Amino acid sequence: MRRIVGMLLAAVLMASCAPVRQTPDEAVAQAEAQAMARAEAERREAQAREEAQRKQADAQAEARRAAERESRAREDAGMEAPPPPPPPPPRTGRSRAPAARPSAPTADYVNVDVFYATNRSPDAAFDSRPAADRFTAANAGKLTYGQARVSIPKRHVAGELESPRWYLLEFEEDPARHVVLQDVSRLPEGAFFGSLQSRVRASGDSSAFVFVHGFNVSYRDAARRTAQLAYDLRFDGAPVFYSWPSQASLAGYFTDEETIARSVPLIEDFLADMADRSGASNLYVIGHSMGTRGVTRALRNLVAKRPDLRGRFRGIILAAPDIDAKVFRDQLAPAMHLASGRVTLYASSEDLALKASRQVNRGPRAGDSSEGVMLVDGIDTIDVSGVDESVLAHSYFMESDKVMGDIRQIFRGNLPAAERQPLQSVKLRDGVFWKLLPP
């Protein structure tokens, strides 16, 4: 069932992105059909919300009535009110990890502070807007720097990005149960790097990572994912994310492609500043999906213009790269090896998002191993097919305990794939790749 649902979602992505030649009459008819479909979907969603809210209200009313009946019964019997129930036991399942240098904990959650740079346009009413809405999807053409505070529930399950679920009658974020973007502040460039250096110095190994997100990601979710990643990796250094102006919608795929391409110069400038001004001896760069296009092109430009930065980056991680396989092998991979002595590429044969991208872009993707694993000198390719049980199997590097465990070994010891457990080598005529065995 999971794969069927995933294939349907992949088909929706292809349908929403693929250009089609149409006559004017066909275009009008299609637009009318799409409008009717959207209206029907919105109507059904509204009905579902109303029904869920009605059930919640009925349940709350019944609970109040039951409490009142019990109270009256106890009064009639001359009994005292019972003591409050004990707190529920912790959930079992995947292990929980301590936060990455969290601020002081509350009763139910801890706050994780992360740094950011973005070329999104700030909202005109930035200070009065909710934290999640302070940056738009418009391209500012320049960088804004700052910090974001994200709360992680103490009952957090590693790999999860807990959010309200309507089918559980959850309609508002609760820090005790959900990963919540609590606050976003802007900093002048100098103050940003000053605070970043202080955080790096306070870490045990003078470390920082920069995470560049992929397609269909809002600023809010980029911040939440960065905090969750740092928390689950038990990262002791400074977590930083670069948020480019993704439209945060499936229909925005082509717009996102243009936006990430236009963002490359600013990503390049920011990575150069991180190399020069962060104070991190161990500086890592993580790119996911379409974000790897910005990472790889920025680093290629950087090592060409700044030979002194060759080898400056402790590690480069490319997760599910949505890059044309031939372009990656011929034009980008050599520069990655110049930028860092430890380059890791994670790929999967079950990644439905990259299968959809292959159809849309008419070419195999570097992160899709369904027709062969990407083998490049100087790059450790890890095939993680089978480890992700989500619908699209596309975000495994931050949702799978096993993949995060492998990244943790990179961060802690800078170990090559040949020395990391539980990777299994697979030898081919053209080279070697490693297989991360599924659970």
- The string of pLDDT tens digits covering residues 321-340 is 999 999 999 999 999 999 99
Same domain, 244 and 335: yes
Are 61 and 141 within one domain?
A: no
pTM: 0.78
Query: Do 137 and 63 belong to one domain?
Result: no
**What is the model's pLDDT at position 104?**
57
Whether 67 and 202 share a structural domain: no
**Residue that finishes a domain, picked among 74, 98, 131:** 74
How far apart CA 241 and CA 213 sit, in angstroms, is 8
Shared-domain flag, residues 48 and 184: no
Instruction: Decide: residue 183, CB within 10 A, 0-12 exposed, 13-18 middle, 19+ buried.
Output: middle
Task: Look at residues 17, 52, 74 and tell me which one is the last residue of a structural domain.
Answer: 74
Number of structural domains found in the chain:
2
> Do 257 and 212 belong to one domain?
yes
* pLDDT at residue 91, rounded to an integer: 38
Domain span at 54:
34-74
Give domain status of residue 88, yes or no.
Answer: no
Which pLDDT score, from 0 to 100, does residue 85 have? Answer: 41
Task: Summarize pLDDT for 129-167 with one digit per residue, the tens.
Answer: 999 999 999 999 999 999 999 999 999 999 999 999 888
Alpha-carbon distances of 307 from 279, 318, 377, rounded to whole Å: 19, 22, 20
Shared domain for 62 and 122, answered yes or no, is: no
Residue 24 falls inside a structural domain: no
Task: Kindly state whether residues 286 and 403 are assigned to the same domain.
Answer: yes
Residues 38 and 166 in one domain: no
* Residue ranges in the chain whose pLDDT is less than 70: 1-106, 391, 439
Between strands 109-122 and 135-153, the pairing is antiparallel
Please indicate, yes or no, if residue 7 is contained in any of the structural domains: no
